[in-house]
Structure 1
Amino acid sequence: MNIDKSQDRSEILATRLRQARELAGLSQGQVAKLLSMHRPTISQIEAGQRKVSAEELLRFSDLYDASPDYLLGRTPTTLEADDPRVRFAARELNKLKPEALEGLLKIIASFQEPSSGNKDSK
């Protein structure tokens, strides 16, 4: 029973490390070089076949600019400002022309639920 929880956490960590690497636009080889590791080690970690030490977790966290809690799957279901996906989206939005950004913001607003905190909707 504890094994299942440990496996779930390992899978979450492996998935989030892979996602963070991809969002950072880095290859496994580049990450390995930046962290002074071997590329197969990065592959094993991302496949959930190798455990990550606390020191390694902090190094990944620093490299991807993501909190250890995010990488470990300990964050709420909503995204925090320091989530690497939010940072990636912000970088991409920054590339848009003002009129395109306004149009996209209207589309995003249409996806929000009326009870999402908008005081004017009451």
Structure 2
Amino acid sequence: MTDATEGQRKDLARRLKESREYVGLTQEDVSTALNIQRTSVHAIEAGTRNVSATELAQLAKLYDRRVEWLLGNEATQVGADAALFRVARGLTENDRVQLLKFAQFLASGNVPESRS
């Protein structure tokens, strides 16, 4: 990302860090996947290093996010996603497995309509 304002770079840095944490990767995992130093990943997430277009595309793919969202050009439900992640992080492993199964069930579209 060239010629980014400091605010844009900080926003991108925040979104990248949140996305990495959301998918459960470490900075070391990301550095290995992108073939860059871990310190570079840290600098990107701190907003002190610009991200190349190639790196941004790789990060979007790695985090299963759209580049537009990472750049702040696409609205999403990230607030709800982040809240769900924070809650799930505090659950036991067994409860997280059950939560995942329930989420997959909801995503399948096979949920019967409620009868009011």
| TM-score calculated relative to the size of structure 2 | 0.65
CA distance in 2, matches of 1:51, 1:40: 13
Show the counterpart of 2:9.
Answer: 10
**For each residue in 1:46-92, what CA deviation from the matched residue of structure 2 results, as whole angstroms up to 9, or x when unmatched?**
0000000111100000100100111111112x428xxxx38x86xx6
Show the counterpart of 1:33.
Answer: 32
CA distance in 2, matches of 1:22, 1:94: 17
CA distance in 2, matches of 1:28, 1:50: 15
| Matching residue within 95, 101, 104 for 2:101 | 95
**One-letter code of the match for 1:94?**
L
**Unpaired runs of 5+ in structure 2?**
86-95, 107-116
Structure showing greater Rg: 1
**One-letter code of the match for 1:79?**
Q
User: Alpha-carbon deviation of 1:94?
Assistant: 3.0
User: Alpha-carbon deviation of 1:34?
Assistant: 1.1
Structure 1 SS opposite 2:5: helix
Show the counterpart of 1:74.
Answer: 73
CA distance in 2, matches of 1:63, 1:20: 9
Show the counterpart of 2:109.
Answer: none
Q: Which runs of 4+ in 1 moved over 2 A?
A: 92-97
**Unpaired runs of 5+ in structure 1?**
102-122
CA RMSD of aligned residues (A): 2.9
1:64 and 2:70 equivalent? no
Question: Relative to structure 2, which stretch is displaced further, 6-15 or 39-48?
Answer: 6-15
| TM-score calculated relative to the size of structure 1 | 0.62
Q: Percent identity?
A: 37
CA distance in 2, matches of 1:42, 1:66: 17
